[in-house]
Structure 1
């Protein structure tokens, strides 16, 4: 169907029938062969709307699942950083492989060589930085959610924030 082409009465009736069955907007659009926007327009013109409760609940559940996964990931990053830092004080196996006779030799040192300690510290730092980035992102998200709740509450109560106050210098 060409873009912005009028839809037939038959298509309109089918959309409203599927809507009455409780089908989602995208399901209706796929079945009827029109855009989601067209489905929304037809439903709205008929004085109806889509129930967003299920979508909202699914979104909240997904957000909770993602928050739980981020918490597990943060714990793993911190655990790995601790393990790497602990390796700096443990016995360390060094080895050499090769030479003209292709030999292998190994030796255990009381602790890793300086280069290996530096590598362990860098790896631990990378893991810690990753954990901190996740924590900062969660903190920013939580702050925005709190701000949204407070703004909604202030609007409901008719309270104005400092940016909403009349400016006495502006002559208002």
Structure 2
């Protein structure tokens, strides 16, 4: 606010209006043909601030909450996958083969998956549950240690029942 070009009351009022519209310091300076420092001084004299810390903080909190909700939703999807795949461990299984001299395609049904396939299902289930728990840990249900020991017990029983070959 040098003496060569004093700030008018009209400019002060215009700064107040533009600030109320949400315009930033540099945008106001461009509109009024003034320097950013001059606009900052006018704003300060009017009790205005261009600080956006509160807006940034609120936007960050909203984004964090959105991400937490997305992680929780994805944890549910992983749990659904674990349950679907766990059901296949003792279910009839269709095997297929493509090959031979004529490149024939053939299928055959088995009453249940082979021990190796059961092991693969158990590994998939364990991974899905583990990732689900990491994305959305249980609250006050005894904690992850209790859930982990329940899973270990479940998989030990499955291995004992079906053999770990």
Alignment TM-score, normalising by the size of structure 1: 0.53
8 Å CA contact 2:93, 2:111 repeated in 1: yes
Please list every run of 5 or more consecutive structure 1 residues that lacks an aligned counterpart in the other structure. Answer: 1-7, 140-172
Q: CA shift at 1:62, angstroms?
A: 3.2
Give the 5 Å matches for 1:27-46.
Answer: 28-29=25-26, 42=40, 46=45
SS in 2 for 1:42: helix
**Whose radius of gyration is greater, 1 or 2?**
2
Gaps of at least 5 residues in structure 2 are 31-35, 140-165
Please name the residue that 1:115 is paired with. 116
Q: Deviations over 1:100-146 (max 9, x none)?
A: 1111221111111122112212211221121122135x98xxxxxxx
State the aligned residue count.
122
What's the TM-score once normalised by structure 2's chain length?
0.55
Look up the match of 2:68: 67
Query: Residue 16 and residue 82 in structure 1: after superposition, are their counterparts in 2 closer, same or farther (change >3 A)?
Result: same
Structure 1 distance, partners of 2:27, 2:99, is 64
Query: Is the CA contact (8 Å cut-off) linking 2:78 and 2:129 kept in structure 1?
Result: yes
Aligned residues of 1:16 and 1:42 also touching (Cα < 8 A)? no
